[in-house]
């Protein structure tokens, strides 16, 4: 072996070895196959017209990146999550804003129209609006990612069942779709509670 070759080999041996990252810090491998047929079964006709484009950033790399979903941001948050059967995010967006409001204000004042219209509670009204707007922005920015994660979990679950394709698609339809009855009930309750607040 020549002197130059020995020098090059020694330099390679002296090169620092990059430490291997723990599993939790590694980027998840992308490229999981989500067939159009299964996604149509899961989402319905909106897969081709809307969700295929909205979820495209997560198919290549499932890591979270903020994207935007108008219905999740403006449709009685968190009603959209309930409508799309995202029950854990629904609970999160239903409960957390109330806790945040109480932590920020330290107030137990009932949020009725009569109380909020008092001059001394003007700041509470502003804080309530700020928390509501922040919650809507967070819902709109995370909705597509939550939806992708649920669709991917459903796809993995049905793949593990090793069912014939017609039964696989039927199971995807049951796991996906929307929950109209629970959403209608929730919106009705929100409207009733809002009217009660207005009435004082």
Model confidence at 29, pLDDT cuts 50, 70, 90, reads: very low
Higher pLDDT, 14 or 130: 130
Higher pLDDT, 12 or 167: 167
Residue 49 DSSP class: I
Quote the CA–CA distance of 148 and 154 in Å, as a whole number: 10
Summarised one tens digit per residue, pLDDT across range 176-200 is 999 999 999 999 998 898 888 777 5
Quote the CA–CA distance of 42 and 152 in Å, as a whole number: 10
Summarised one tens digit per residue, pLDDT across range 54-64 is 999 998 888 99
With beta carbons less than 8 A apart as the criterion, state whether 147 and 51 touch: yes
Lowest mean pLDDT among 33-42, 107-116, 149-158: 107-116
pLDDT at residue 51 greater than cutoff 80: yes
Instruction: Share the mean pLDDT of the chain.
Output: 84
The pLDDT value given to residue 39: 95
Chain centroid, CA 29 distance in Å: 20
54, two tokens:
């909205």
The pLDDT value given to residue 115: 72
pTM: 0.78
The stretch 10-20 carries a mean pLDDT of 56
With beta carbons less than 8 A apart as the criterion, state whether 105 and 122 touch: no
89, two tokens:
């995010």
Count of CB atoms within 10 A of residue 41's CB?
Answer: 22
The pLDDT value given to residue 118: 80
Summarised one tens digit per residue, pLDDT across range 67-123 is 999 999 998 779 999 999 999 999 999 999 989 988 988 877 766 666 767 888 888
The pLDDT value given to residue 125: 84
């Amino acid at each position: 072996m020549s002197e130059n070759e020995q020098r090059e080999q020694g330099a390679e041996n002296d090169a620092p070895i990059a430490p291997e990252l723990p599993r939790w810090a590694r980027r998840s491998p992308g490229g999981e196959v989500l067939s159009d047929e299964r996604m149509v079964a899961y989402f319905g006709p909106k897969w081709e017209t809307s969700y295929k484009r909205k979820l495209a950033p997560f198919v290549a790399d499932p890591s979270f990146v903020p994207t935007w979903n108008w219905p999740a941001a403006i449709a009685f948050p968190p009603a959209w999550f309930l409508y799309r059967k995202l029950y854990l995010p629904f609970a999160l967006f239903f409960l957390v804003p109330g806790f945040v409001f109480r932590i920020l204000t330290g107030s137990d004042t009932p949020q009725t129209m009569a109380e909020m219209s008092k001059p001394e509670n003007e700041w509470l009204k502003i804080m309530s609006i700020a928390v509501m707007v922040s919650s809507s922005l967070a819902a709109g920015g995370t909705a597509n990612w939550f939806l992708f994660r649920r669709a991917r979990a459903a796809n993995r679950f049905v793949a593990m069942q090793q069912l014939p394709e017609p039964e696989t698609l039927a199971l995807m339809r049951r796991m996906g779709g929307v929950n109209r009855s629970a959403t209608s009930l929730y919106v009705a309750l929100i409207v009733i509670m809002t009217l009660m607040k207005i009435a004082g």
